[in-house]
Amino acid sequence: MSHRRSRLSKKAKTLVATTVALSAALGVTVAQADEANKKCAPFDTITLGKYYVNNNLWNEGKFTGTQCVWSNSQSGSTISWGTNYSLANSATGKDYDVKTYASTVLGWHWGWKVDKASTGLPIRVGDRKPVRTSWDFTVSPNPGTMNVAYDLWLHTKNTADWQDQLTDEIMIWLNRQGGAGPLGTKYGSVSLGGAMWDIYQGNIGWNVYSFVRQANTSKASLNLDDFTQALVRRNLLSNDKYVSGIESGTEVFKGTGRLDTKAYSVDIG
């Protein structure tokens, strides 16, 4: 909305007030409704302090359709952003293929886009630094097949750059819709952060561990160190690995929908 002064009629003022009240009732802001700073090209990014939003269309050959991202606000370590999508299988795409991952990035994502020092990463798993995160979001009704998840990237060294392939990936699924399921096979279950999670183990050239929350949520406050240590205790991850990147967003398999992040933050140490 413009900051230019204007004179509104009583009817117009009532309409504005009603719109703001309705937006608040629906849990979205006027900025969210306007989808400010919308970007739709593959791998378009929007920097928000120590994070950036990435329109990650990484599996482009497997789908047809569009996906966009936008930013709403940033205050300190807390940001607000959104994404919408309408994706279908291409001739070579399958229902089980993840097509995109519109997401925020903190730290490493095949290199460093934001000044490395500002991210607080990488951190050694065995140093047991708290990684406190909160995420408050909404998913549109009938969003297709998708999940809302964190994605952590790990390396054997603390100097990883664009050319360095990761050794381990840890996903933390907070919400899944339309029958979405993780890679690999079920390893077991664990209680963390006040919820029960199923652990899945797979490999795609590196180890992939997925914690899938047994009951969907749209709000979480977690210490991500709890999840890395859950793997260490099971001898699935070693304490000498480094967490280089922490991402959060929605993996879309197919369908039409949107994710609105009202508030998201990651604080390390």
- State mean pLDDT over 234-242: 98
Q: How far apart are CA 86 and CA 82, in angstroms?
A: 14
SS3 of 84, please? strand
pLDDT tens digit string along 192-219?
999 999 999 999 999 999 999 999 999 9
The total of structural domains in the chain comes to 1
Q: How far apart are CA 156 and CA 174, in angstroms?
A: 27
Q: Say how many residues make up the chain.
A: 269
pLDDT at 34 over 90: no
pLDDT tens digit string along 110-148?
999 999 999 999 999 999 999 999 999 999 999 999 999
The domain that holds 97 is classified in CATH as 2.60.120.180
Structural domain contains residue 166: yes
Structural domain contains residue 11: no
Structural domain contains residue 140: yes
Structural domain contains residue 225: yes
Neighbours of 59 (CB within 10 A): 18
Structural domain contains residue 89: yes
pLDDT band of residue 35 (cuts 50, 70, 90) is low
SS3 of 42, please? coil
User: pTM of the entire structure?
Assistant: 0.87
Q: How far apart are CA 66 and CA 264, in angstroms?
A: 24
Instruction: Mention every residue, 6+ apart, whose C-beta is less than 8 A from residue 89.
Output: 62, 63, 64, 95, 97, 254
Structural domain contains residue 142: yes
SS3 of 66, please? strand
The residues that bridge with 46 in the sheet, in sequence order, are 53
Domain that holds residue 194: 29-268
pLDDT of residue 37: 85
pLDDT of residue 36: 63
Instruction: Mention every residue, 6+ apart, whose C-beta is less than 8 A from residue 171.
Output: 149, 150, 151, 152, 182, 208, 209, 210, 211
Structural domain contains residue 52: yes
pLDDT of residue 180: 98
SS3 of 261, please? strand
User: Regarding predicted confidence, which is higher, 17 or 263?
Assistant: 263
Structural domain contains residue 14: no
Question: Could you tell me where the DSSP H helices lie in 26-115?
Answer: 30-34
Q: How far apart are CA 204 and CA 220, in angstroms?
A: 28
